[in-house]
């Protein structure tokens, strides 16, 4: 990492989420970070967002807040759009007015999953559900605001704590190991599990890069390789030494309110080429996460 990059105060929205907590842990070691959780600022309220930015006077704004309930979003589009589209647009505008750098996160669910090779940043977005559409609308507003912005599209985020696929598999796996009933997990959706630690480290790498004021854009930032939810579940249980069986099922066997892409693997090659940031392979990142939390 370069010693240059952008100095000054960081204002972090969504500091209570799984990525927000990882960002706060990592960045506050070397930087002045003001973290706001949901209770501190409802990002769905543009006036509250503007007031928080004015109060903190940051040189970097990071938005880890989002409406992430993919199925519920189908029934609450207004709430999803307020948090995922309007809020980042307001933050990006404020960042531009202040000459601050804005970092925002988006999702593999902006794609329809019809592809069979890793998606690149310039592949056409075609979200299947409200969540993906609200995140895509957020990307457009951020890019349209005209300031210095980084939109990091990520996928299948997990940590050793909080509510995510890893902790759900751990809980269910321990229960099923007792009862002997197998777990059933979808095996026809492909993606790249990404640890919040790896994504937070990539974010820190961008902030420390000498070219930060010139390299605005959308970047994919997922761990390398690909697997299915079933493959990911097996790796989690193996890594935790939980002796529960995992039976593969299809998406049709497990209907959900929102449709999900069948193949949403992202290529993070641009991040590597432009910033020299190499995301770890998903299996290695999972091992690090399990070791760190052991
Ligand atoms: N999780 C994934 O698998 C995944 C995949 C692709 C992309 N992403 C993106 O990665 C980023 C981080 O996601 P994450 O996994 O860390 O999500 P998360 O754990 O759900 O955290 C999101 C945080 O935003 C907060 N929030 C929601 N609505 C808010 C509002 N109106 N005002 C203020 N705060 C609000 C939530 O608070 P409450 O809990 O109180 O609502 C939560 O603390 C998001 O941009 C997400 O879209 C995530």
Tell me the per-residue pLDDT of 217-271, one tens digit each, with 9 for 90 and over: 999 999 999 999 999 999 999 999 999 999 999 999 999 999 999 999 999 999 9
Question: Would you list the DSSP string of 254-266?
Answer: S--SS---SB--B
Q: Which of 67, 81, 105, 131 is catalytic?
A: 131
For residue 213, tell me if it sits in a domain. Answer: yes
Helices (H), ranges, 106-163: 130-144
Residue 201: the pLDDT is 98
Residue 293: the pLDDT is 74
pLDDT surpassing 90 at residue 15: yes
For residue 188, tell me if it sits in a domain. Answer: no
For residue 111, tell me if it sits in a domain. Answer: yes
Number of domains in the chain: 1
Q: Which two tokens stand for residue 31?
A: 């930087």
Q: Look up the CATH number of the domain holding residue 209.
A: 3.40.50.720
Nearest in space to 200 (alpha carbons), one of 84, 64, 101, 32:
64
**Pairing outcome for strands 10-13 and 60-63:** parallel
Query: What ligand 1 atom has the least distance to the C-alpha of 79?
Result: 31
Q: CB of 268 within 8 A of CB of 221?
A: yes
For residue 34, tell me if it sits in a domain. Answer: yes
Query: What ligand 1 atom has the least distance to the C-alpha of 156?
Result: 3
Q: Which two tokens stand for residue 42?
A: 């409802």
| d(C-alpha 220, C-alpha 212), whole Å | 16
> Residue 96's pLDDT band (boundaries 50, 70, 90)?
very high
Give the pocket of ligand 1 (CB within 6 Å).
14, 16-20, 38, 42-44, 64-68, 83, 105, 107-108, 135, 154-157
CA angle 224–229–234, rounded 5-degree value: 90
> Cα of 18 to ligand 1 centre, how many Å?
7
Domain assignment of residue 64, given as a range: 10-155+196-222+265-280
For residue 174, tell me if it sits in a domain. Answer: no
For residue 167, tell me if it sits in a domain. Answer: no
pTM over 0.85: yes
Annotated catalytic, 219?
A: no
Residues 6+ apart with CB under 8 A from 214: none
Q: CB of 223 within 8 A of CB of 279?
A: yes
> Cα of 67 to ligand 1 centre, how many Å?
5
**Pairing outcome for strands 190-191 and 227-228:** antiparallel
For residue 41, tell me if it sits in a domain. Answer: yes
Q: Residue 132, exposed/middle/buried by CB under 10 A (0-12, 13-18, 19+)?
A: buried
For residue 100, tell me if it sits in a domain. Answer: yes
Q: Mutation test of ligand 1: which of 11, 17, 20 has the most ligand atoms closer than 8 Å to its C-beta?
A: 17
Residue minimizing CA distance to atom 1 of ligand 1: 157
Q: Give the tens place of pLDDT for each residue, 185-221.
A: 999 999 999 999 999 999 999 999 999 999 999 999 9
């Amino acid at each position: 990492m370069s010693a240059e990059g952008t100095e000054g105060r960081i204002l972090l929205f969504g500091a209570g989420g799984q990525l927000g907590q990882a960002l706060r842990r990592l960045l506050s070691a070397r930087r002045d970070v003001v973290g706001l959780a949901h209770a501190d600022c409802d990002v769905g309220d543009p006036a509250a967002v503007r007031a928080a930015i004015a109060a903190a006077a940051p040189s970097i704004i990071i938005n880890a807040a989002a409406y992430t309930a993919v199925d519920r979003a189908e029934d609450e589009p207004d709430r999803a759009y307020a948090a995922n589209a309007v809020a980042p647009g307001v933050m990006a505008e404020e960042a531009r007015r202040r000459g601050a750098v804005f970092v925002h996160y988006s999702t593999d669910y902006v794609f329809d999953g019809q592809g069979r090779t890793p998606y690149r940043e310039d592949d056409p977005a075609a979200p299947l559900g409200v969540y993906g559409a609200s995140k895509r609308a957020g990307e457009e507003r951020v890019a349209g605001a005209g300031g210095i912005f980084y939109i990091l599209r990520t996928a299948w985020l997990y940590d050793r704590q909080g509510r995510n696929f890893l902790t759900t598999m751990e809980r269910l796996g321990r229960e099923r190991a007792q009862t002997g009933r197998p777990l059933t997990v979808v095996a026809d959706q492909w993606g790249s599990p990404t640890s919040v630690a790896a994504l937070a480290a990539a974010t820190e790498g961008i902030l420390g890069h000498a070219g930060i004021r010139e390299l605005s854009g959308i970047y994919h930032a997922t761990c390398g390789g690909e697997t299915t939810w079933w493959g990911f579940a097996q790796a989690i249980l193996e890594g935790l030494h939980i002796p529960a069986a995992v039976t593969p099922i299809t998406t049709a066997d497990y209907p959900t309110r929102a449709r999900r892409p069948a193949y949403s693997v992202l290529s993070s090659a641009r991040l590597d080429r432009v910033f020299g940031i190499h995301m770890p392979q998903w299996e290695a990142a999972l091992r690090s996460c399990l070791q760190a939390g052991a």
